[in-house]
Amino acid sequence: MSGFISRGESESVLLSALAAMRSCQWVDLTHAFDSTIPHCPCFSPEERRTLFSYEGIDGGSPSGFLAHEYRFVGQWGTHVDPPAHFVQGLRFQHEIPVTEMILPLVVLDVSEHVAKDDDYCVSMWDVQDWEAKHGRIPAGSFVALRTDWSKRWPDEEAMFNRDAQGIAHFPGWSREVLAYLYDFCGITASGHETTDTDCGITVTQGDAPLERFILAHDKWQIELLTNLDRVPPTGAIVVATWPKARQGSGFPARVFAVVPAENKNY
């Protein structure tokens, strides 16, 4: 039958795809977290308690294994923000299908602008420059904003970059760019290196209109990415996963990119 793929052929295609991926470079885009990491001031630090250890606890019998109890807010370290984080009635993290967790990766690099202006927000000029070089930003992609702000991790003072008046100065997205990406291009998700979608000045005012804009589209985002300088502007794929907490409003995520062999030295 024309167009029919047998089970054996299907398995061969999948194994070939896996072999091709293994020939690529895999770049971890995730910060490791502990109680000392930069985080929103309204959140308490992580608490971690050892329940069982190899040698036993407080003179007790050895358990032979190590187990910890963790306590932290969902928006901790590199994490996912599902739509329900801001918008009642939209998807919780367990409702985001696994088909949205492997996506083409687009990297908008504004690191040179940010090096000159801590408050820089990505503009349509940046997007137009990207598209002039690489073509239209594809529907269904994950767009990451590279600012190189993650190089300040884990220095919380450097990450928030507050002035004498307590105003934070760090880069962010812009509404015009997000509207273009989500409304016109039809991307699936986005992410960034900073603690927030909005720039530091806006966050200091106690508002987050751009994060609300994304989540109100019933889309999800990843915050506090790292190593975007090791990923090309296009051609890679991103894998973003997180625990399936029922009605979860956010959780630490493990995010990585698979970079084609021709870009392994990027």
Q: What is the pLDDT along the chain (266 residues), one digit of tens a residue?
A: 455 566 666 678 999 999 999 999 999 999 999 999 999 989 999 999 988 888 776 666 667 888 899 999 999 999 999 999 999 999 999 999 999 999 999 999 999 999 999 999 999 999 999 999 999 999 999 999 999 999 999 999 999 999 999 999 999 999 999 999 999 999 999 999 999 999 999 999 999 999 999 999 999 999 999 999 999 999 999 999 999 999 999 999 999 999 998 776 66
Q: Looking at the domain covering 25-40+75-263, what would its CATH class be? A: alpha beta
Token pair recorded at residue 168:
């934070």
38-69 burial code (b ≥16 CB/10 A, e <16): bbeeeeeebeeeeeebeeeeeeeeeeeeeeee
112's tokens? 């040179």
Exposure string for 19-29, b = 16+ CB within 10 A, e = fewer: eeeeebbebeb
Residues of the chain with CATH 3.50.30.50: 25-40+75-263
Query: If you count DSSP H runs as helices and E runs as strands, how many of each does the chain have, helices first?
Result: 7, 11
Q: What integer pLDDT is reported at residue 1 of this predicted model?
A: 46
Please return the burial class of 160, using the count of CB atoms within 10 Å of its CB with bins 0-12, 13-18 and 19+.
buried
Dihedral (C-alpha) 127, 128, 129, 133: value to the nearest 10 degrees?
A: 100
Dmax over Cα atoms in the chain, in whole Å?
Answer: 73
Distance CA 143, CA 182 (A): 10
Token pair for residue 196?
Answer: 């927030």
Residue 259: which H helix or E strand, with range? strand 254-259
